[in-house]
Amino acid sequence: MREDYQPNELVGRDEEIQKYQAALQPVINGEQPNNIFLYGKTGVGKTAVTRYLLSHLAEDASQYEDLELHLTFLNCDGLTSSYQIATRLVNEFRDETAQISSTGYPRATVYEMLWKELDAIGGTNLIVLDEVDHVEDDSILYQLPRARANNKVSGAKIGIIGISNDFSFRDDLSPKVKSSLCEQEIHFPAYDAGDLQKILEQRRDVAFRDGVLNDAVIRLCAAYGAKDAGDARQSIDLLMKAGDLAREEEAKTITENHVETGRHDLERGRIEEGIRGLTQHGHLVLYSLLTLHLQDGTPVRSRDIRPRYTSFAQRAGRDPLVPRRMRDHLSELVMLGLVSVTERNEGRRGGTYREYSLAMNVELVLSALDEVVDEVGIHESIHSLVTDDIFRDS
Ligand SMILES: Nc1ncnc2c1ncn2[C@@H]1O[C@H](COP(=O)(O)OP(=O)(O)OP(=O)(O)O)[C@@H](O)[C@H]1O
């Protein structure tokens, strides 16, 4: 059920696998490999399919004596520049005793080292750059695929497999990078409920004891997954959570109730994480809006949130931010989906203004705001909720 498990078979991805295999065919033919770009939302199998196909490719390649295939996987999370990618690759190719430091060299020098390493390794090199959208400058995405054509390397054939869940990344690539990196593009669409059901059934067979998990439970997890984002990771996590809850209760089977509770817990976790990641002023703005919501004071304009925000900030011992900065925090809450916004017209004079409302379950928000409630004090509007043991429950 965990991320590092590599399924033996991947369901619901036949079309993508077929395209991907065709794009990898030149490797087996000993030709210059294609550069391949995979894109699609999170949890739709881009990494899983890549690992699956490349392990099969390596097996196939090992049967040909004259075919020397080298695979390198690099997750670009935390690697924001071409320089960092290049140094990381050099170190991947070198042995422990000859590693280079990740700072201090001119970029051209690191590229020279990289070409040298690749030439020394020789054969066909497929380099997977997962989460490639973290790289902010595209130099390496141009240099690597063109290294052979530009006579930087002669002994090695290089192919790049870029993976991204950021659609704007692909659109924003410069034309010259796009034409080399995205030679073969494969789009991974979201899974539907039927696909997710098959994925979960496959996990049932390897992860659960016989008879503890019935079809209705799997259907429910798949339906929620399809409704949310068509993300396999999310559905698998939900099933795992339901299993954990059943185990904690020492129940004999997993029920739809475990799924419902699990979903609630996971959603709570996600929201809490989002709220806890905000700054203290973000918390103060959210607490202000929440109390206004409970007093039927929403939708509300930012200037009418301000007096409450100001008094809460003072009570927490903080200087209130100027209106514009307070509005920035409101916008951040909107982006996180915690707050909704509506544009309104001011009538004949023509101006527009925005009204804000709370877009999340009150209990959930309140339980994540416990620290700021401690600092500001319990506002009268949340009194009954707090004494109803919301905090103790959570
Ligand atoms: N078709 C499938 N069959 C079985 N398991 C799958 C399938 N697709 C995805 N999974 C599983 O779902 C989880 C997420 O998949 P994966 O990491 O490949 O998604 P991704 O598209 O690379 O997402 P991200 O963009 O967030 O990295 C993994 O645990 C993976 O094993």
Q: Which residue among 187, 205, 221 closes a domain? A: 187
Q: Pick from 41, 161, 199 the residue to mutate for probing ligand 1's pocket: most ligand atoms within 8 Å of its CB.
A: 199
Atom of ligand 1 nearest to the CA of 236: 12
pTM, full prediction? 0.80
Q: Which residue among 227, 244, 274 closes a domain? A: 274
Mean pLDDT of the chain: 91
| Residue whose CA is at the smallest distance from ligand 1 atom 31 | 48
Interface TM-score (ipTM) > 0.95: yes
Are residues 248 and 236 part of one domain? yes
Are residues 34 and 60 part of one domain? yes
Q: Pick from 10, 39, 75, 218 the residue to mutate for probing ligand 1's pocket: most ligand atoms within 8 Å of its CB.
A: 10
Burial-class residue 351 by CB neighbours within 10 Å (0-12, 13-18, 19+). exposed
Going from the Cα of 248 to the center of ligand 1, the distance in angstroms, rounded, reads 27
Q: Which residue among 274, 289, 304 closes a domain? A: 274
Are residues 259 and 110 part of one domain? no
Rg (CA), the chain: 26
**CB-CB contact of 76 with 134 (8 Å):** yes
Atom of ligand 1 nearest to the CA of 6: 31
Mean pLDDT of the region 281-302: 96
Going from the Cα of 383 to the center of ligand 1, the distance in angstroms, rounded, reads 44
Question: What is the length of the chain?
Answer: 394
Q: Which residues span the domain enclosing 268? A: 193-274
171 pLDDT more than 50? yes
- Predicted local confidence at residue 388, as pLDDT: 55
Are residues 230 and 300 part of one domain? no
- Predicted local confidence at residue 243, as pLDDT: 96
- Predicted local confidence at residue 393, as pLDDT: 45
Looking at the 3D structure of the chain, how many domains does it have?
A: 3
Are residues 302 and 235 part of one domain? no
387 pLDDT more than 80? no
Note whether residue 91 is domain-resident: yes
Which residues fall within 8 angstroms of residue 328, CB to CB, at 6 or more apart? none
Are residues 98 and 57 part of one domain? yes
Atom of ligand 1 nearest to the CA of 164: 25
Are residues 342 and 264 part of one domain? no
Are residues 129 and 52 part of one domain? yes
Cite the DSSP H helix spans in 29-74.
46-62
- Predicted local confidence at residue 164, as pLDDT: 94
Q: Which residues contribute to the annotated binding site for ATP? A: 44-48, 191, 203
